Amino acid sequence: MFNLLKSDVYRLVHGKMLWVATAVLAGCIVLCAAMMHWVSDPQFLCDAAQMSATVTVGEADELDAAADEAAREMAEAAAEGGEGEDDGATVGGSASFEALLEFGDPSSLSAADFEETSREMRTIEAPTFMFGDMLVSGGFLGALVSVVVALLLASDFSTKFVRNLPMDRRGRVAYYGGRLVLVAVVALYFLAVGCVLSLAAFTAAGFTFAALDGAAELLVFLGLSWLCLAAYGCLTAVLVWLTRSAQAGVAFALVVATGIAGTVAGGLLQNLGAAVPALAAVQPWLLSTCMNHDLALPATSLLLPAEGAVWAIPVGAQVALVGAFWVTASAVLALSVLRRRDV
């Protein structure tokens, strides 16, 4: 198995797939950092405030004109009716609009105000919060890992590489076990590259951190993120082995690994939980919930008790159990169900 794993790593490193995916990851991170740098620039904030005030002035003028017209119509109707009363319908809305404009007038803000706002926007709570919010919880990294895994493993069938391997009991363990270890290596690679590139890109864009994570918190976050990414990759591997189709694996990556299917399932469980409370209790144990919710929170929250969990286990322990379950289930399926497949 070790020799097979070494050959797989060699093929991956000397192929184009890994580097194309790395370039895509780097490009998305740089683009994200550049966009956030742009929208947090003091000049951009000043221009946006002026544009908003211009729109507000235009809306105020239109509403003032409409209110004045309504007041005139009411006065004419009262005069025609012979009442001749001044019902006080002269519009006092203009004063309120002027007060609103004076409150929101960007001219009342100084350059120092926009600089302060820019500094606040460019201050991130902690590195793990940035990793979780940008890389892990959005589903992008999970989808990238799953796509690479799907294309890599499907190539074994398209190139007929698997036909050259012995598929007795020992051969199956070596093949499937080695591939699952390779999936874990791919997940670790993209997680490490994504974190390093994120730190470099956002630091170069002028972002700072309000606090730095402790070593234990950083290791817990990275370990759990890697486990969940590996779980999605292992599930993709089993699907590709069952279908022998790269398209099926890519579809799984786009629908499931991104968290879309999990979000829909979680919403259904929450709604059905009103009638059957046990269903609502399942939602926190979804892999998508661990990726998109738990790992998007500050790393310190992973050490807090999970809401509604049995035995009040920490959030991090709950995420670890979910990730380990799916990795183990993938290994069991690969070595039991797939052994009946003629590869």
CA 305 to chain centre: 23
| Per-residue model confidence (pLDDT) at position 180 | 93
Angstrom distances, CA of residue 179 to CA of 230, 233, 254: 12, 10, 21
| Per-residue model confidence (pLDDT) at position 92 | 42
| Per-residue model confidence (pLDDT) at position 339 | 59
| Per-residue model confidence (pLDDT) at position 250 | 94
| Per-residue model confidence (pLDDT) at position 88 | 41
Q: What is the 3-state secondary structure (H, E, C) of the chain?
A: CHHHHHHHHHHHHCCCHHHHHHHHHHHHHHHHHHHHHHHCCHHHHHHHHHHHHHHHHHHHHHHHHHHHHHHHHHHHHHHHCCCCCCCCCCCCHHHHHHHHHHHHCHHHCCHHHHHHHHHHHCEECCHHHHHHHHHHCCCHHHHHHHHHHHHHHHHHHHCCHHHHCCCCHHHHHHHHHHHHHHHHHHHHHHHHHHHHHHHHHHHHCCCEECCCCCHHHHHHHHHHHHHHHHHHHHHHHHHHHHHCCHHHHHHHHHHHHCCHHHHHHHHHHHHHCCCCHHHHCCHHHCHHHHHHCHHHCCHHHHHCECCCCHHHCEHHHHHHHHHHHHHHHHHHHHHHCHHHCCC
| Per-residue model confidence (pLDDT) at position 229 | 95
Q: What is the pLDDT along the chain (343 residues), one digit of tens a residue?
A: 667 778 778 888 888 999 999 999 999 999 999 999 998 888 877 777 777 656 444 455 555 566 666 666 666 666 665 544 444 444 444 444 344 444 455 556 667 777 888 888 889 988 998 999 888 888 899 999 999 999 999 988 887 777 666 566 677 788 888 889 999 999 999 999 999 999 999 999 999 999 888 888 899 999 999 999 999 999 999 999 988 889 999 999 999 998 889 889 888 888 888 788 888 888 888 999 899 888 988 788 888 877 655 567 888 899 999 999 999 999 998 888 775 454 5
- Cβ(316)–Cβ(224) under 8 Å? yes
The CA distance from 230 to 322, in Å, is: 12
- Cβ(127)–Cβ(203) under 8 Å? no
**pTM of the predicted model as reported, rounded to 2 decimal places:** 0.78
